Amino acid sequence: MNYVKQKLKQIGIDASIAYSSGGRIVQGLTGLGSIYFIGTFLSAQEQGYYFTFSSLLALQVFFELGLHNVITQFAAHENAHLTYDSDYNAMGPNEYASRLASILRLSTKIFAWISTLFWIVITIAGYYFFSHSSARIEDCHIDWMLPWILLSFLSSINLFLSPVYAIVMGLKRVKEISKIRFLQSIFMPLSVWLGLIIGIKLYALALSSLVSVVIGLIYLNKQHIICQLKKIWKLQSSYTVSYKNEIFPLQWKVALSWVSGYFIYQLFNPILFQYVGAEVAGQMGMTMQVVNAIQAFAFSWMSTKIPIYSTYIAQRRYELLDILFQKTLKQMLSVCLVIIILFLVTLQYIDVFFPFRISNRFISGMPLYLLCFSIISNQILSSYANYLRCYKREPLVVMSVIIAALCAVSAFVCTSSFGMTGLVCGYTVIISFIELPWAYAIYKNKKREWQQL
């Protein structure tokens, strides 16, 4: 057993990654099941609604504005100077404990407002979009309104819980959050399958979101995380964190990057839904489900190291920071490439295992290969961005805004003129041949500059 653990450690797999990547493995396997159930129990048009729901819910970045990411960085920097006894009482300089408590109280208050506003706006916006789209005219028999209302409400509750997860990540309890994600990756798709089997169709997404909330609350309580957070909450606030003077100067830059990310990564389905139709949007959605699972699984090598990067920076241990980052980057890219190859090979033979041509529910040909090529670029870009944000700075904001604008214009122009092929071609060129070289130059320059301060 020790030999196995040692070998796993050599390739970068610790307990946090084991749960995180294990969850992605389960997500990949259940993704195959979801492909079957979605293809069997939903029509091609309903599939389009199913995935466009998710794309519209991603509009929460315009409300959350990257704040949970910033919260993790701030909490990790304060927590680097603290330890905890067996009863989860914080021990260390009062300044850092007090500031950590301030971060917890402030973030909870802010997200209470954010989640409420998100619920109201996204419900109305989704109703308007689906009511006035060309696909809605063609598919007026599809029951989408009440499923959308329920889903938007439950998604707002999940959004309210996000600062809790962010704080816990900053406390270096990454393993616990990874385990929550692992459990969610099992039970959320199972709830979707059950919902589709019993015939509730698009309501299955709302059921899945409810399961996510319940699992999170139960596990946070079981692992005494809620108890730890309560004790942090009660600490005196003789030292406070100012949102205006400390968090906002970083958040507005992160916010622009995250908002830009919507136009870069989430615009496919709504545009295809509007210009080409629900069926093609469904094909893109099914493909992006696999693509996102690949990216998330591989990126778990990187994301679970973010609190460690922040700790090294707070302690000015830059050599260890860069060694760990480069090692993790190589491991992540190797894993990503292997899975992409397996996906493309599997897609060639997947119809053998299904009673219908499931491959018709995916995009194919050049758009598929270009989309897979862009996965590697996105993995590297995300790694540079998260590395730089661990310094509590956001130097990629100008680049992100410009790239988002290019992607948005390209998406509308290319889709209206050349359909799905034009959409994917324009996206790949912008991401891989404009954004990636630009991001690398910023990464090299800023790393050298900040480490010399």
Q: Which two tokens stand for residue 141?
A: 């028999």
- The pLDDT value recorded for residue 356 is 61
Residue with tokens 């989860």: 88
pLDDT in tens, 16-26: 555 555 555 66
DSSP per residue, 188-242? HHHHHHHHHHTT-TTHHHHHHHHHHHHHHHHHHHHTTHHHHHHHHHTS--SS---
Residue 330, pLDDT > 90, answer yes
Phi, psi of 248 (to 5 degrees): -60, -40
Q: Which pLDDT belongs to residue 253? A: 72
CA neighbours within 13 Å on the CB side: how many for 143? 10
Mind listing the pLDDT tens digit for each residue in 164-187?
888 888 887 777 887 888 888 889
- CA 227/CA 238 separation, integer angstroms: 22
Confidence tier at 353 by pLDDT (50, 70, 90): low
Give the H or E element holding residue 145: helix 145-170
Residues 382 and 332: beta-carbon distance below 8 Å? no
* Average pLDDT value for the chain: 84
- Cβ–Cβ under 8 Å, residues 324 and 308: yes
Summarize pLDDT for 25-66 with one digit per residue, the tens: 666 667 667 877 887 888 888 888 888 898 888 888 888 877
pLDDT of the residue at 4: 44
What tokens were used for 131? 């009511």
Does 12 score more than 50 pLDDT? Answer: no
Q: Which two tokens stand for residue 122?
A: 């996204």
Confidence (pTM)? 0.69
Most confident of 96-100, 250-254, 262-266: 96-100
Could you tell me the pLDDT band of residue 11, with boundaries at 50, 70 and 90? very low
Distance of alpha carbon 107 from alpha carbon 103, whole angstroms: 6
Q: Which amino acid is at 109?
A: K
CB 201 within 8 A of CB 233: no
Helix and strand numbers (H, E) in the chain are 19, 2
Indicate whether 379 pLDDT > 90: yes
